[in-house]
Every structure is written in structure tokens, then in C-alpha cells.
Amino acid sequence: MVITTVSFLFFSLVALYLSQSFVTGNLENLNGFILIAVILSGIFLVLQLKKEWGCLKCKIKQNAYSLNKNNALTILALIVGAFITFYLNHSIGLGGVLASAVVGLLGAWTFKSYAAAIYCGSFIGMACSQIFSNPLYLLVAALISGVVFVLSVHMFVGFGGKLGFTAFIGTFLASHIFQTPLRTVDPLPGDRYLMVFLFVILAGMATYMLQRTVDMDAVSASALVGLTFAVVYPDPTNVVVIAAFCATFTGMVSYNRVKSYSEMFFLSVLTGVMFIAAFSLFDGSGGKLGAIAFLTTVSGIGMMDFMRTVKRKINGYQKSTITAEN
């Protein structure tokens, strides 16, 4: 109970830190619409975190956490995914998206029981080589993420981006431990917004559709869509390909969380907003794209739940008014 509580609080604090960073780090750079959307996202993130804590307390009573041999294998799989991706990314020169997508697909098709851990590790391997100039730094980041992965198994189930968020935690903490701070770059130019939104919507919807129509697992769907964009587009390192890969993590959301294509479309649009807001921040960090998708999914689902509640109340009021008039 204590371990799970502390883990949830830590998970939530990192999420809230990222959310406020998207606002405070961009006050002078974002237009009014995107800034308001990011602020609203932060508000609903807080509300949804509170709701998830209530759900988690019920799960804790039913699923007592225990250490076992499988935990060690899971962490090992995550570490292997990180190192292979880092090698493909920097030594072979595939680029982060292509390297991660390839490792994710191989993991999903050959080691299904550890596919999520391998894919999570691949996001750490997407990190800039300046951050992990020493293999020890990469190992520490992977170990941290591996522990977080194991401890958060019952948390935020079905939310897109959870794997990337877990990878970001390891990268972020390791960069501070070894004093290799994450970079801040120039904001995304406004003339790129339209293409970013287009690629994000296509990738998010495609990933979600693969899960629903052909019953493909979330890791395979995300990696396959990401690989397709990276191979088809002339430059696999272009910002639109990176944005599309980010959206595939949002598209990993489960059907229990998002039940219609219209809801997925809303989350895809919100992913585009959050991607633009976060573009200049934490550059070069592994897991950043997944972290964006995670914040988007958690806050976006909170927004949709709120809108459903308002709609039910309006419908109930209308029905009661009609009944009273009759």
C-alpha cells in the first residue's frame, strides 16, 4: 500500500511539473488559443489524477503488490530495449523514430510478454547522445524507468503515453544525477502548425483504428504506424514525423478509456496542441513524446468526462422541464 501510494504521488508530481512547465516555459511564445488549451489541460489533469487515485485505492485492495522474478526480467527487457535503440539511433544512424519503431515491432512480435517494457526502453534510446555520452548514464536512466515501470503496473491502465512518460522519468532524473541538463530550443514556427496537426491526427487515428478494427495490440499498432511515417516521409527526423510518432502513443489508449472515433479525434487534436506547447522544452530527452501523449490522454479524458456530465445534466433538466409542463 505504501509503495503504491508513494509511486502514484511521484508519478503525479512529475506529470504536474511537466504540465506547469508547458505553460510557464511558453508564456511569450504561444498564441492565445494554444495557451488557453494548455492551461485547461492542466486543470483537468489535476481533476483526473484525483479520480484515478480513487480508482487505484480499490485496485490496491484487490491486487497486493509483490516482488517476483518476472519484475527482474521486465527491467532487463527495458534495459535491452534502451541500449539496442540507442545503438540503432546513433551508431547506425537510423534516427530516433525509426530505431524505436523497429525495436518496438521486434519486441511485440518476438517477446510478447515483455513487449511493453522493450518499447518503453526504446524511448530512452531515442535520447540525444550528448545526454547519454557515457553508457553508465543510459544504464541508470533505464534502471530508474524499469523500477518505475514495475511499480506503476496498476496505475493509469489504458492511458496512452504511459510507457513514454515512464521513460521520460528515467531520462529526466538521470540527466540531473549526471548533470547533463536537457536543452531548450527555439519554439516551433507558426507556419509548421498546420502540417503538424495533419500528421498528428492521421497517426493518432490510424493507431487507434488498428487496435479496434484488426485487434492489433497497442505496441504493434503504435510502432507500425510510426515506422510507416518514418519510411514513407523523405526525412524520418523531420518534425512532422516526430509529431506523428507522438500521436501514435496517444492512439495506444484503450477502448475502455476512449470509446469512439470522435473522442479519439479530439485527443489527437489536443496532442497537436500539447506537442506545439512542449516543442522547445526538454529537447533531446528520451520519452518526451510519450510524456506529451500521457498528459494529453489523462487531461483529455478528464475533459470528455466533464462534457459528458454536463450533457447528462442538461438532458435531465430538459426532460424534467418537459415533464413539469405536461
- Give this prediction's pTM: 0.93
249 with 263: CB under 8 angstroms? Answer: no
- Percent of all residues in the chain with a pLDDT value above 70, rounded to a whole number: 95
Output the nine-digit C-alpha cell for 158: 489504458
- HSE (side-chain half, CA atoms, 13 Å) at 195: 11
The CA distance from 146 to 167, in Å, is: 8
Query: ∠ CA 309-159-226 to the nearest 5 degrees?
Result: 130
257 with 297: CB under 8 angstroms? Answer: yes
Cell numbers 485505492 correspond to what residue? 57
For the stretch 94-119, pLDDT in tens is: 999 999 999 999 999 999 999 999 99
Quick one: how far is CA 12 from the chain centroid? Answer: 14
**SS3 state at 95:** coil
Q: What is the mean pLDDT of residues 244-255?
A: 97
For the stretch 181-234, pLDDT in tens is: 888 899 999 999 999 999 999 999 999 999 999 999 999 999 999 999 999 999
The CA distance from 139 to 83, in Å, is: 8
**The pLDDT value given to residue 99:** 97
